[in-house]
Structure 1
């Protein structure tokens, strides 16, 4: 079914490319400039979106082996991810049940975690293994003092967690079937080549750029080129979306030769064409395919808001279908990844920081999203809707029945 849906989207892009058209939104939309700069709204977003909705916390290839772990902080919540002996992934509150000190930092491989404050020890599965000086401490129910566990979910080679211990929102429902399409990338068998974290502007300012091809030939004229496409058609699954350029022509990965997709049967359309464009996972991830080191690669950008309204942080994961083997392949992969850093850091985020600083002057009351910027329109509608939804309303929004009715 996922390939059939991918082919249908590709046929849509082929038809619009042949006709030199694109799909437009109904109207130009105005968004209050204060939605980017209001610190109170920003805290609401951190609380009601990033601390309440499922987040893509890691590609599966970051934790490939049993015992692998990663500790991270998201909007003030300490998170510990661990790969279990049975191959599943667990997400824990990274706080010792004794006094709350984090039990792990950084990443690595471990079968147990010992708190550096008093020496309480926990198994990789969160169970409390030992209380230091137990005879002196007193009798406790160790089964009741395990690491607290967050809801988590692994699918399509990606790992999600919800940073709400009481969340009743099924992560699969939230994804709205989107992960079935993402599985076409085959990330389950890929390898993590490199990663880095770069600072950025307000999280919505930063994320707007991932939903916008309109700026590509202007802002990126010196990197991608002034002749780069600036149109996109958008496809939606709940709040998640894909944008891709309308075109009947495609270049196979590893080749400089373009081919006319309209001449191919459904079975002949290459996977590269089916997965073209940018795939975004609300509220903070974008996935785009690239080619470096002699094989398929993708940059998975994971965006989180910072401590203040004017900052964010993005971790860029460069994942590859196969680990580069030769010096030339490694060099080529690094060059591709370094190029993408320049594009995002020095062009997208540098511009976003200047834009946000100007908006903080309060002199502009609204910003505009044109009929050709449908992705940004829909993104801001979902941000507003989910920021202000109650917990009960949140469950209703993502029930399969409600989702199907909305679509």
Structure 2
């Protein structure tokens, strides 16, 4: 069923490309400029979106082996991911149940974590197994003092966690069947080649760019070229989106050759055609395919709000179908990843920072999203909807989305 849906999307893109048309939104949409600059709204978004909804916290290939762990901070919440002995992933609140000190930092491989403050020790499944100087401390129920566990889910080579210990929202409902389509990339068998973190503007300013092909031949004329495409059709699964250029051609992996999809049967459509474009996972992930180092690759951009309304951080993961083997392949892969850093850091995010500074003047009351910018329209509608939804309404919203996806 997932391949059938991918084929249907591809054929729709081919038809629009052959006819030189695209799908439009019904109207131009106006978004208050204050939605980018209001500090109180920003705090609500962090609380009601990033600390309440499932987040894609790591590609599976970042934690490939049992015992692998990763500690990170998301909007003030210390998170610990661990790969268990049985191959599953667990997500914990990275706070010792004695005094709240994080039990580990960074990444590595370990079966146990000892808090660096008083020496309490936890297994990587969260169980408390050692209290320092137990006779002096006094009797405690270790089973009641395990690391607190967040809801987590792994699918399509990606790991999600919800930073709400009491969340009742099933992550599967939240994804609305989208993960079954993402599985077409094959990430569960891919490898992590490199990663880095960039500073960016307001998180919505930054995310707007991932949902927008309109700017490509203008902002990126020196990197992609002034004749680059600027049209996109959009596909939706709840708040998650795919945008792809309507075209009857797709570039063959590792070659400058353009494949004419009108001359290919559905059975012969390659992964390049079925997964082309940008895939976004609300509220903070962008996935785009590239080729470097002799292998299929993808850049997964993981965006989080920063400490203030005008800041954000983005971790870029460059994942590859196979680890490059020769010096030439490694060099080529690094060149591709470095090129993407220039595009995002020096063009997208530099522009976003200037844009945010201008909006903070308060001299502009609204920004516009055209009929050709449907992705940005839908994104801001979902941000408003989910920021203002109660916990009960949240369950109803995604129960309905999951039901619709299953029909």
TM-score by length of 1: 0.99
- Structure 1 unaligned residues grouped into runs of 5+: none
Q: Deviations over 1:12-55 (max 9, x none)?
A: 00000000000000000000000000000000000000000000
Other-structure match for 1:17: 17
Q: Is it true that 1:148 corresponds to 2:145 in the alignment? A: no
Alignment of 1:86-101 (within 5 A): 86-101=86-101
Displacement after TM superposition at 1:260 (Å)? 1.0
Displacement after TM superposition at 1:263 (Å)? 1.2
Q: Whole-Å Cα distance in 2 between the matches of residues 20 and 406 of structure 1? A: 32
Other-structure match for 1:281: 281
- Structure 2 unaligned residues grouped into runs of 5+: none
Q: Whole-Å Cα distance in 2 between the matches of residues 367 and 303 of structure 1? A: 22
How many corresponding residue pairs? 407
Q: Whole-Å Cα distance in 2 between the matches of residues 162 and 299 of structure 1? A: 23
Q: Whole-Å Cα distance in 2 between the matches of residues 16 and 405 of structure 1? A: 24
SS at 1:87's partner residue?
coil
Q: Does the 8 Å contact 1:238/1:403 carry over to 2?
A: no
Q: Whole-Å Cα distance in 1 between the matches of residues 339 and 405 of structure 2? A: 42
Displacement after TM superposition at 1:68 (Å)? 0.1
SS at 1:222's partner residue?
coil
Alignment of 1:253-402 (within 5 A): 253-400=253-400
Distance 1:209 1:399, change over 3 A: same
Q: Whole-Å Cα distance in 2 between the matches of residues 9 and 258 of structure 1? A: 19
Q: Deviations over 1:155-182 (max 9, x none)?
A: 0000000000000000000000000000
Displacement after TM superposition at 1:268 (Å)? 1.0
Q: Whole-Å Cα distance in 2 between the matches of residues 359 and 51 of structure 1? A: 26
Q: Whole-Å Cα distance in 2 between the matches of residues 257 and 64 of structure 1? A: 34
SS at 1:231's partner residue?
coil
Alignment of 1:4-403 (within 5 A): 4-400=4-400
User: Which has the higher mean CA deviation after the structures are superposed, 172-181 or 256-265?
Assistant: 256-265
Q: Deviations over 1:293-335 (max 9, x none)?
A: 0010000000000010000000000000000000000000000
The list of structure 1 runs, each at least 4 consecutive aligned residues, that deviate by more than 3 angstroms after superposition, is 400-403
Q: Deviations over 1:194-245 (max 9, x none)?
A: 0000000000000000000000000000001111100000000000000000
* CA-atom RMSD in angstroms: 1.1
SS at 1:204's partner residue?
helix
